[in-house]
């Protein structure tokens, strides 16, 4: 039986599906309560915990991904996407995420001033920063938190983010097929 770092058994597949399903916000909340309680004396863990709890863009992104994962993805995958058949239209969701990065008034001003590329770069950079911080926090939680032996495999995949310095955030190129236009 696999154990979490606090000695409790790892949830079964049924528990994961029934209790946590695709709710990334609940998963994040449970991660914080299960994995961060014992490590509060380590400064980087406190920074990670604060980021996971308080970052507005991360919370907005997780909220939209959760909503999409819990229902809308089936509608879009089946090509029956009609705005009235879903909770929100994808472009509406994206606009809400973008507005957390650049307020609507500033975005409009940038577009009117011919700064579309700068606007796209600002959106992309902020999203990359949030994802890098999230992956770094998860990797440190796995490695510092001394979770079960199966978690080491995940740490290997996320290792590039373990020691990513604040000054390096947003500077890496993650394009699979060459540089992006922004």
- In the chain the first and final C-alpha atoms are separated, in Å, by 47
The pTM assigned to this predicted structure is 0.69
Q: Are 71 and 87 in contact (CB under 8 A)?
A: yes
Q: Are 123 and 57 in contact (CB under 8 A)?
A: no
For the cut 60, the answer to whether the pLDDT of residue 124 exceeds it is: yes
Determine the Cα–Cα distance for residues 49 and 45; give it in Å rounded to an integer.
6
pLDDT value for 162: 75
Q: Compute the mean pLDDT over every residue in the chain, rounded to the nearest whole number.
A: 75
Phi then psi for residue 78, to 5 deg, are -90, 5
pLDDT band at 49 (very low <50, low <70, confident <90, very high): confident
Which stretch, 28-37, 38-47, 139-148, 164-173, has highest mean pLDDT? 164-173
pLDDT value for 95: 85
pLDDT band at 1 (very low <50, low <70, confident <90, very high): very low
Q: Are 86 and 75 in contact (CB under 8 A)?
A: yes
For residue 5, what are its two tokens? 């770092």
Of residues 126 and 10, the one with the higher pLDDT is 126
Angle between helices 116-144 and 90-101 (to 10 degrees): 90
The structure tokens 């004396």 sit at: 41
The DSSP result for 97-136, as a single string, is: HHHHHS-HHHHHHHHHTT-HHHHHHHHHHHHHHHHHHHHH
Of residues 114 and 24, the one with the higher pLDDT is 114
Determine the Cα–Cα distance for residues 106 and 32; give it in Å rounded to an integer.
34
Determine the Cα–Cα distance for residues 159 and 155; give it in Å rounded to an integer.
6
pLDDT value for 54: 92
Of residues 105 and 37, the one with the higher pLDDT is 105
pLDDT value for 5: 54
For the cut 70, the answer to whether the pLDDT of residue 77 exceeds it is: no
The structure tokens 């000054």 sit at: 167
């Amino acid at each position: 039986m696999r154990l979490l770092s606090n000695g409790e058994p790892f949830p079964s597949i049924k528990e994961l599906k029934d209790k946590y399903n695709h709710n990334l916000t609940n998963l994040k909340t449970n991660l914080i309560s299960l994995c961060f309680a014992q490590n509060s004396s380590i400064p980087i863990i406190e920074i990670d915990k604060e980021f996971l709890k308080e970052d507005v863009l991360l919370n907005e992104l997780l909220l939209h991904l959760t909503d999409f994962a819990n229902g809308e993805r089936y509608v879009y995958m089946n090509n029956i996407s009609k705005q009235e058949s879903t909770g929100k239209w994808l472009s509406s969701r994206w606009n809400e995420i973008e507005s957390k990065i650049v307020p609507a008034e500033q975005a409009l001003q940038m577009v009117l001033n011919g700064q579309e590329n700068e606007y796209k770069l600002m959106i992309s950079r902020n999203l990359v920063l949030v994802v890098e911080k999230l992956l770094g926090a998860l990797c440190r939680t796995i490695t510092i938190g001394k979770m079960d032996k199966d978690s080491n495999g995940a740490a290997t995949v996320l290792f590039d983010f373990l020691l990513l310095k604040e000054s390096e955030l947003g500077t890496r190129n993650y394009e699979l097929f060459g540089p992006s236009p922004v």
